[in-house]
């Protein structure tokens, strides 16, 4: 992998990640852009104890442009975009409309391919490995920033999820605090250790391996299963068999095997609701340990992949119980979801 750093016209950092070491990236951003002036505000909720980012400038962000005006396509044929070069493998750059910035963290965009009409599932294993390398590199670089406590790499796909740009891309949030979901997992892990003397993440994986009925895919170094108490209609958790706290700690064997396993899971999600239908909307989220929080060593890196589609033409909405009380009601039994995902295996 070769990494090339440059600056966009408004001063934001952009990084090219290339498979070939001899690739030259010297294209300049020829746009006339004013400096980015954003002031996201973090507000603490005294009742729930969590943090809300208030980012009014995001009201003006680019919203579902036609393919010919996509800001994530490369700059070519006289049209200038966020990526100055005429082609690219993987690109990461600072978000022009960030939810977090400066002392309150950082937001980055990850473009998986220059092909506007592709999806992550269309990538080959070499490109998927390059994306994993970029996620890992960004986790390491952002961990060095004193204001960053946790790095969250994720992809939203589909208009149903709320995606405003159709180009295949994901995001990276560098939080200046530990996210509420992670805090809950850390507390659960600490309580489990105190009660049993064992690691919670190890026991969760061991239970799924032993029971088997919710396992979707088992490889040498990764295991994917629908969790026992899945919140979403179709939800898979992908764990490395050797527990590690974050992407930086994956060993070479797990890194080498990940692209094939992950691409297979994404393709199964696309086959869930029949061929020829609309692509399955999903969220793909890497859960990594915070960098300095107590109990970091108990955390287990894992990827959560879920869709809000519960049946053809039907979506799972977060209504009163979910949105008002954070009590999820799942219409699809996890065992049935796992069976469907196993049946959707590549032929």
Catalytic annotation, residues: 169
Token digits for 2?
């070769």
- CA pair distance 297, 19, nearest whole angstrom: 32
Class of residue 184 by CB neighbours under 10 A (exposed 0-12, middle 13-18, buried 19+): exposed
What's the CA dihedral at 326, 330, 333, 336 to 10 degrees?
A: -120
Contact 179, 152 (CB under 8 A): yes
**C-alpha separations of 305 from 126, 140, 226, 268 in Å:** 21, 23, 10, 11
Q: What is the DSSP-derived secondary structure letter of residue 281?
A: P
CA dihedral (298, 300, 301, 307) positive or negative: negative
Burial of 194-205, coded b for 16+ CB within 10 Å and e otherwise, reads: eeeeebbbeebb
Token digits for 12?
């934001």
């Amino acid at each position: 992998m070769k990494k090339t750093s440059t600056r966009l016209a408004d001063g934001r950092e952009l990084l090219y990640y290339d498979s070939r070491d001899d690739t030259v990236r010297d294209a300049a951003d020829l746009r006339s852009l004013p400096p980015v002036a954003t002031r996201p505000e973090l507000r603490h909720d005294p009742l729930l104890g969590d943090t809300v980012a208030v980012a009014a400038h995001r009201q003006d962000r680019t919203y579902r442009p036609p393919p010919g005006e996509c800001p994530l396509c490369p700059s070519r044929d006289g049209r200038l975009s966020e990526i100055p070069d005429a082609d690219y493998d993987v690109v990461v750059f600072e978000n022009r409309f960030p939810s977090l910035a400066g002392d309150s963290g950082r937001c980055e965009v990850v473009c998986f391919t220059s092909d506007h009409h592709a999806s992550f599932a269309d990538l080959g294993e070499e490109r998927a490995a390059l994306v994993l390398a970029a996620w890992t590199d960004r986790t390491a670089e952002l961990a060095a920033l004193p204001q960053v406590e946790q790095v969250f790499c994720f992809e939203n796909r589909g208009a149903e999820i709320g995606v405003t740009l159709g180009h295949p891309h994901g995001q990276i949030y560098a939080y200046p605090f530990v996210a509420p979901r992670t805090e809950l997992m850390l507390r659960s892990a600490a309580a489990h250790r105190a009660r049993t003397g064992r690691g919670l993440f190890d026991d969760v994986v061991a239970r799924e391996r032993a029971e088997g009925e919710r396992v979707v895919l088992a490889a040498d170094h990764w295991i994917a299963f629908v969790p026992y108490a899945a919140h979403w209609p179709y939800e898979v958790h992908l764990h490395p068999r050797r527990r590690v706290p974050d992407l930086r700690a994956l060993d070479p064997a797990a890194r080498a095997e990940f692209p094939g396993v992950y691409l297979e899971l994404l393709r199964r999600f696309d086959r869930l609701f029949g061929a020829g239908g609309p692509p399955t909307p999903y969220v793909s989220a890497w859960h990594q340990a915070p960098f300095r929080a107590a109990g970091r060593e108990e955390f287990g890196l894992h990827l959560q992949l879920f869709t809000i589609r519960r049946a053809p033409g039907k979506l799972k909405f977060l209504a009163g119980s979910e949105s008002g009380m954070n009590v999820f009601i799942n219409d699809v039994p996890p065992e049935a979801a796992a069976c469907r995902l196993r049946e959707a295996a590549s032929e």
